[in-house]
A and B are shown apart, each in its own frame.
Chain A
């Protein structure tokens, strides 16, 4: 089986610092592999465990430094990796991104059975690229995958989370699976895995290599654009309570619970 895992490098958003002018200080920001994508890779590795002739290719789009995320994925055990990197790809929204990834898959990778992606990326949190990619490749998509339960004879079975239900879907391959965290048991790479990964190849491809249409990539190919970006405002009392805090907490709770009783009486 040939599996493509789509990976995104994201800034560690837990650790953002602001300048006096309210701009994000980008220098020194640590980039990590999107945590959901780690699980996507692990899910692929779990399939490989039972089907040893499985080949796992990582695919990412981003600047040159995104190689770090791919190197991490290779250390986890993926076989090879492709980074789509070109100035003409930058500023892409999910619409342009999914078309660019689809071009690389259709025109360069060509042969594949399964695509696994994280359900979300923790920076943008749009959850759109995976389903959009399935549209452009004209293959089925399973979203909010909790667990991949079976894969054989050109079919895959997976449990998907829904509002009040968990549905088990079966679909033919090729297909796109968007996975949640904890869909697999994560095994962090060891030092020897990092060393072994250094011999693995990361192919870097540009717009011409993947025969993409310039008008469909980057800012040009993005129907959405940012009009304004700003720091979220906080408007809270910020009252510090040093003494009698138990009374204070219960006061607010009783205020709320009391209201409810009143409306019930009415």
Chain B
């Protein structure tokens, strides 16, 4: 039964791409409105406004008939915060909100199934999802169910003309960040995930209110196999903190030992910055994996990023490419980070840290 449905949507795609292009352009752009729990309040993940703004820009370039639709589908009870969530979605760029509801949605596998059933009914042109833990867990399940392509971790979304058709051109780092690839998708929906802090949210208010519809998916065939035995607060709540920090101070292998890394943390505290580490520092055990910045770690976009003893391998630079200013301190003037920074200081990183701490303790905080 499910197989047959899949076949149908495929055929539809083919027909549309050939001669019914006019009709296709009325299809909408979906954005997955991930809900997170933030100190007992349910709220949108910070990536959602960023995705909505990107979706708006894409919609305007496709044709102004395209709507940007936010898809709410969550295993949290959001009743008490629902009005705030709704308003945030309109303000940040939604024309319409779909709320997918079912008692069978108890975890991410249920979310994935419900959302993909919804997509089978509405086939969007483009579907954007945050490259968060939940986003990266549900997106491949949805794309597999819809038999379409999924481009992960995009850093840029554009519209391109391909064989007389408008297509989503999703650019992402690949090859460990050494190479950028612009990827197109033959099928619909064209799905992509984008990391938090990579795109900008809009500065103004789009709408105070808009269309709203609820959708009850048919989940008769869905069987939930997962049971949650235990939930504990992630001890390092720094994730959001780090991703939103204005100043980030990070250390790499060049700091060599624990003692020097403690200096880095002290310096960060003195100037009220967040601290982090490179993959090298994490591998050496100087700092936990949850503080890692780079392709397999976190992406940050601070106003100032100060790198101590980080060589600047491309997989690291991918994680800080949106930093406004990069200050690099490294005693190797051939380290790639020197060329890729705004301010380069060729000096021993721990020596510079000593001097900074001394100066701050003598003459007051920054």
- The reply to whether A234 and B340 form a contact with Cβ atoms under 8 Å apart is yes
Q: Is A171 an interface residue (CB 8 A)?
A: yes
Q: Give B229 Cβ to nearest chain A Cβ, in Å.
A: 5
Among A33-80, those with CB < 8 Å from B are none
**A95-B144, A165-B231, A171-B225 in contact; A248/B343 too (CB < 8 A)?**
yes
Tally of chain B residues near chain A (CB < 8 A): 93
Known: A132-B144, A171-B227, A182-B289. A143 touches B133 (CB 8 A): yes
In the complex, B341 has a CB within 8 A of chain A: yes
Query: Among B137, B162, B366, which residue has its beta carbon within 8 angstroms of that of A143?
Result: B137
What's the minimum C-beta distance from A1 to chain B, rounded to whole angstroms? 18
Q: In this assembly, does B239 line the interface, its C-beta being within 8 Å of a C-beta of chain A?
A: yes
Interface presence of B296 (CB below 8 A) = yes
CA distance A144 to B169 in the complex (A): 28
- Please name all residues of chain A whose beta carbon is closer than 8 Å to the beta carbon of B237 when the two chains form the complex: 164
The CB with the most chain A CB atoms within 10 A, among B141, B174, B225, B317, is that of B225
Contact indicator per residue, chain B 45-62, by CB within 8 Å of chain A (1) or not (0): 100000000000000000
Minimum CB–CB distance from B218 to chain A (whole Å) comes to 18
The verdict on A169 contacting B183 (CB below 8 Å), with A239-B343, A253-B366, A257-B271 known, is no
Contact (Cβ within 8 A) B315 A128:
no
Whether A171 contacts B36 by the Cβ 8 Å rule is no
**How many Å lie between the Cα of A230 and that of B181 in the bound state?**
6
Contacts of A123 in B (CB 8 A): 174-176
Stretch of A103-111, A155-163, A187-195 lying at the B interface: A155-163
Flag if B343 contacts A171 (CB, 8 Å): no
Contact of B239 among A142, A164, A246, A250 (CB under 8 A): A164
Q: How far is B183's CA from A95's CA once the two chains are assembled, in angstroms? A: 14
| Cβ-based interface call for B153 (8 A) | yes
Give min CB distance, A93 to chain B, whole Å: 6
Is B284 an interface residue, CB under 8 A from the partner?
Answer: no
Q: Per a CB cutoff under 8 Å, which of B162, B169, B174, B366 touches A250?
A: B366
Please state if B344 and A238 are interface contacts (CB–CB under 8 Å). Answer: yes
* B175 lies within 8 A of A172 (CB): no
- Residues of B174-228 whose CB lies within 8 A of A: 174-187, 225-228
Query: How many contacts between A and B, using CB within 8 angstroms?
Result: 257
Q: Interface residues of B: mostly helix, strand, loop or mixed?
A: mixed
User: Are the CB atoms of B232 and A165 closer together than 8 Å?
Assistant: yes
CB distance from B83 to the nearest CB of A (A): 22
Minimum CB–CB distance from B45 to chain A (whole Å) comes to 7
The docked-state distance in angstroms from the alpha carbon of A167 to that of B150 is 26
Interface string of A234-263 (1 = CB under 8 A from B): 101111111001101110111011001000
Which residue of A has the minimal Cβ distance to B230?
Answer: A168
Which residue of A130, A165, A229, A257 is within 8 Å of B366 (Cβ)? A257
Complex: chain B residue closest to A172, CB-CB: B225
Interchain CB contact under 8 A, A122 and B315: yes
A91 interface contact, C-beta 8 A: no
Shortest C-beta distance, B152 to chain A (Å), equals 4
In the complex where A122-B296, A245-B352 touch, is A257 in contact with B247 (Cβ < 8 A)?
A: yes
The answer on a CB contact under 8 Å between B136 and A143 is yes
A164 touches B183 (CB 8 A): no
Q: Contacts A227-B184, A232-B177, A237-B343 given; indicate if A166 touches B234 (C-beta within 8 A).
A: yes
For A139, the chain B residues whose CB sits under 8 A away are 225
Determine whether A231 belongs to the interface, using a CB cutoff of 8 Å to chain B: yes
Chain A residue at minimal CB-CB distance from B162? A227
Chain A residues near B177 (CB-CB < 8 A): 13, 232
Residue from the set B137, B169, B341 with the largest chain A CB neighbour count within 10 Å: B137
Of the candidates A98, A163, A167, A229, which one forms a contact with B45 in the assembled complex, judged by CB atoms under 8 Å apart?
A163
Tell me the smallest distance from the CB of B254 to a CB of chain A, in Å. Answer: 15
B152, B229, B247, B315: the one within 8 Å of A126 (CB): B152
Q: Once the chains are docked, how many angstroms separate the CA of A142 from the CA of B139?
A: 14
Interface membership of B173, Cβ < 8 A:
yes
Contact A236 B132 (CB under 8 A): no
Known: A13-B178, A165-B234, A240-B346. 9 other contacts (CB 8 A): A13-B315, A95-B143, A161-B133, A163-B234, A166-B232, A169-B228, A227-B162, A229-B179, A237-B343
Q: List 16 A-B contacts (CB under 8 A).
A: A13-B176, A126-B150, A140-B109, A143-B108, A161-B234, A162-B234, A164-B38, A164-B240, A166-B232, A167-B230, A224-B184, A227-B183, A229-B182, A231-B180, A253-B306, A254-B366
Complex A-B, nearest 6 residue pairs according to Cβ-Cβ distance, in ascending order: A13-B176, A223-B149, A224-B149, A135-B144, A168-B230, A140-B225
B residues engaging A (CB < 8 A)?
A: 36-38, 45, 107-109, 132-134, 136-137, 139-141, 143-145, 147-153, 160, 162, 169, 173-187, 225-234, 237, 239-240, 246-247, 271-273, 289, 295-296, 303-304, 306, 313-315, 317-318, 321, 325-327, 329, 338-347, 352, 355-356, 359-360, 366
